[in-house]
Structure 1
Amino acid sequence: MDLATYSDKNWVNTFVDSTIPDICKEEPCVLGVDEAGRGPVLGPMVYGICFCPVSKHEDLKAAGVADSKTLSEEQREKIFSIMHENSDYIGWSLEVISPLNISNSMYKRPKVSLNEVSHNAAIGLIKRAIAAGVKVSEVYVDTVGPPEKYQVARDRALKKWEFPEGTEVDNWGSGYPGDAVTKNFLMNSIDRVFGFPGIVRFSWSTAEKIIDEKCVPVTWNDEDEEDEKDKTPSVLQFFARKHKSSDGGSAAPPPPKKRHHFFTERCLKSVESF
């Protein structure tokens, strides 16, 4: 599994694909979907698929495939080797989703949840296999199947992580918030102005708390609040048509309608030409 493309640009998402066996284009195939790295505060999340002909499904089970979370790293590497040796009928594809992409998605307006990121990754990989010619007839998501090499991919991506920020560190632990080594890494790698290096998921509450405690305070001005504070009348108001009151006199024009949240969340403004 060559992750050089991701290692060189670990701030963008990367696809890694095996060669598709000819038999997978000729016979109905079973396809499994799983992920690794959903919970950690550090590193990428990896979504992957693995597929083989339905006629070979039992052979794959006999190889010792199990849920990646029940296997050691050594066991995962061993099973991945078995899969590689049987590439004449086993194929796979994975997407390495960068920490920066996860953080940016969760900080978007409107927010893109981790569930939605996962949903899009899983569906995208299945469509990717079908577009490549795999005859998918059965799909298993988070169930018995061949998900272990996706954890292998995450292990390798973390081991070969390059820090474009120049950070020098040999061990950052498992990446999970409860890991003492990971906590120590977070506390010692933060910059008071720029925050964490790109390996950290800024949107995780663990990271946000440290940023609040250790970084320079930042005040974000809300556009709607600024609008409320600015009471200076627009020049256009002097030329607006006067509305008659019930007693025949002139009255101020009705207040402008509040914009729909669809526009405010996307920072969209009305554009007028004269």
Structure 2
Amino acid sequence: MDLGEFETDNSVSCRLSSPIPDLCKNEDCCLGIDEAGRGPVLGPMVYGICFCPVSKKEDLKALKVADSKTLTETERENLFMKLDEAKSYVGWALQILSPNTISNSMLQRSKYNLNALSHDAAIGLVRYAIDSGVQLKEVFVDTVGPAEKYQEKLSQQFPGVEVTVRPKADSLFPVVSAASICAKVARDHAVKGWKFAEDLGDVDTDYGSGYPSDPKTKSWLLKYLDPVFGYPQFVRFSWSTAQTLLDTKAVTVHWDDDEEDGEKAAARQNNTSVLSYFSRKPSHGAHPREPHRFFSERKLQSVDTL
């Protein structure tokens, strides 16, 4: 699977897709939706759709697609190749949600939780299929939140399409299993081939499963925690695991607010004001420090006067 477009800039989300089979533009089609990487603190979450003509359901089933979680990595890769080879009647599309996108969305002022982000990704993919000419009649999807509410939401978005939302849909409907395989293969490739924008030297890529409970993942998070700038963009910094480590292991600063002057409040709490970072001068004879990439990327520089 070629993720070149995402790898060019993995700080933002990206949509990838196969060609639309002509058969899908001329016959009634079914479509499955599933995701990979919802729970990990590392790497992207990938939403996938797979679609084929209703008349080809048995052909899709004959490929022996199954829930990606029950398959080995090699089995998933082989099944994805089979799906790709069946391009005369099978199509797929992916929405890769970067860790940066996930965290920025969840921490924005207006509430936008992971369920809402997932719903919007799924809706966007279904709309993409319809806009691309797929004659969509049936949609099958694993539940995110209450199944009834999700099904009603999708039905309202796509009138005339029969929507079925079921728990464990990836093990019940082959077209959802196929979507699950596409999403999981894409996430595996994205995690393995992650290009770090940050200068971390020879990065240790033995970060385990990426799930917060994994000891290897915990160890990696501790190793690559910058005490001032936090984590590389590979980490979902909105996850409680990352937040807890930042709170306990990173440098504590006091942010200015309207209630109390930042410098005075910091001094009272025996703390460091964030403003002091900008005003700090190099000691006599010392070479000025190169600015962190956070500032150079944003064209920020210190000034003495306004």
TM-score (norm 1): 0.80
Of the three residues 165, 170, 179, the one matched with 2:198 is 165
Deviations 1:6-39 (A, max 9, x none): 1121100000010000000000000000000000
Residue 153 of structure 1 aligns with an amino acid whose one-letter code is A
Could you tell me which residue of structure 1 aligns to residue 187 of structure 2? Answer: 154
Which stretches of structure 1, 4 residues or more, deviate above 2 A after TM superposition?
A: 218-223
RMSD: 1.4
Query: How far did 1:183 drift?
Result: 0.9
In structure 1, what is the equivalent of residue 226 of structure 2? 191
Structure 1 residue runs of 5 or longer lacking an equivalent are: 227-274
Unaligned runs of 5+ in 2: 143-168, 261-306
Corresponding residue for 2:264?
none
1:90 maps to 2:123:
no
Larger Cα-atom Rg: 1
Structure-to-structure mapping, 1:25-104, within 5 angstroms: 25-104=25-104
CA deviation map 1:62-110 (0-9, x unaligned) = 2111111221211111110110111110000001000001100111001
Contact kept? 2:17, 2:94, Cα under 8 Å? yes
- Percent identical residues: 55
Which residue number corresponds to residue 2 of structure 1? Answer: 2
Structure 2 equivalent of residue 14 of structure 1: 14
Matched, 1:135 2:135: yes
Task: Please say if residues 27 and 135 of structure 2, whose CA atoms lie closer than 8 Å, have aligned partners that are also in contact.
Answer: yes
Q: Which amino acid aligns with 1:5?
A: E
CA contact (8 A) 2:29 2:138 kept: yes
Query: Counterpart amino acid of 2:80?
Result: F
CA drift at 1:222: 5.0
Tell me the SS of whatever aligns to 1:151.
helix
Question: In the alignment, what sits opposite 2:211?
Answer: 176
3-state SS, counterpart of residue 182 of structure 1: helix
Letter in 1 for 2:250: C
User: Would the aligned equivalents of 2:99 and 2:233 in 1 still touch at CA under 8 Å?
Assistant: yes
Question: How far apart, CA to CA, are the structure 2 residues paired with 1:184 and 1:190?
Answer: 10
Q: What is the total number of aligned residue pairs between the two structures?
A: 226
Rounded to whole Å, the distance in 2 between the matches of 1:220 and 1:72 is 48
CA distance in 1, matches of 2:51, 2:257: 49
1:210 alignment counterpart: 245
Offset of residue 189 of structure 1: 0.4
2:286 matched residue in structure 1: none
Partner SS state of residue 254, structure 2: coil
